[in-house]
Structure 1
């Protein structure tokens, strides 16, 4: 069944034709952290039905945003991952996160939360503080752990879970991440107030500590 189109010769309309359906950009958000199995995607997209998730993945594959591949043994599972076109949506999601951050001022009791949902707004805050220093930063919250890859040749990126090797480790909480995302607190302020603890040695850790 063909998807609906805005039928407008406009770059914004074309983009929304590709990723404007409900859940589509949240699927992309999850895959920015790396390849994921269907069950992992479903677990980290609370509220989406299996039928809708399958349809969105198929739509995103057709648009060249997502691809599927089979892991070699012993994994032998199918994973979904972003294509280069899909990874190009990171700055789009970063802009959306910045624009929508004020909506985090109040949290409803029914709101789900995952630690890595703070990664997109946080990676750009830490990039500014890092001042071009490259490395991996592990961020631990009560809700879970994720890691950020800063600097280097490519754009910043992130992954779910602990880092295999981190140049710096940050311990903080969701409220501090929200304050950073909303731009009501700086990294330096949070470190000085003890809301962020930085461990590690080297230029990147020193920069994040403000040393």
Structure 2
């Protein structure tokens, strides 16, 4: 069910909630309509994906993960963490959902004085709420009113700040990132993420 090309990437795009067929294609650059249709049929037949209907204002057909499909999240987080060892080129693009998954993969537990709280990360065409409490992190598609801290920018710019290719102050000065709230807290939030260090990984 998940061994064919694109199958796990389809699951990745559905981890944060249901999507229409057109939204799935937008997040999976390079996939053809026929291949996406086949992968969805395979995943549906295997019990990992089901069809649903998005509510008003537009009642349209969409796809969502079942409990079986959602059980793949730890696999995808581990793959995202592994993939970060060979970072994409600075000018490359990730889908918003791939980036949201990467936040889970690259989160670094910190001492008690590290950032805690909820941040809305507003990317192009989507937004996610990231909640940090001690050693735990939760990432969900944004819902409800804005929290006290909102960071807005393209995925590529936020990624450049996370990985140290661009400072937060420079990104704000250039107008590439906008912050609603305390900039120091925004910097502390972004400092909770780092590339994996193989030397620090526990032995198998």
Normalising by the residue count of structure 2, what TM-score does the alignment of the two structures yield? 0.66
**Residue 61 (str. 1) matches residue 44 (str. 2):** yes
Match of 1:92 in 2: 75
Residues 92 and 65 of structure 1: CA distance in aligned 2, closer, same or farther (over 3 Å): same
Q: 2:57 & 2:90 partners in 1: Cα distance?
A: 41
Gapped regions of structure 2 (runs ≥ 5): 192-204
Match of 2:5 in 1: 22
Q: 1:129 & 1:165 partners in 2: Cα distance?
A: 27
TM-superposed CA distance for 1:55, in Å, is: 0.8
Normalising by the residue count of structure 1, what TM-score does the alignment of the two structures yield? 0.64
Picking from 158, 161, 164, the partner of 2:144 is: 164
TM-superposed CA distance for 1:198, in Å, is: 5.2
Q: 2:35 & 2:138 partners in 1: Cα distance?
A: 30
Match of 1:138 in 2: 120
Q: 2:61 & 2:74 partners in 1: Cα distance?
A: 27
User: 1:49-106: per-residue Cα shift (whole Å, max 9, x none)?
Assistant: 1111111011111222111123456533211001122122222111111111133342
Q: 2:125 & 2:60 partners in 1: Cα distance?
A: 24
Residues 113 and 90 of structure 1: CA distance in aligned 2, closer, same or farther (over 3 Å): same
Residues 65 and 179 of structure 1: CA distance in aligned 2, closer, same or farther (over 3 Å): farther
Residues 155 and 64 of structure 1: CA distance in aligned 2, closer, same or farther (over 3 Å): farther
The structure where helix makes up a greater share of residues is 1
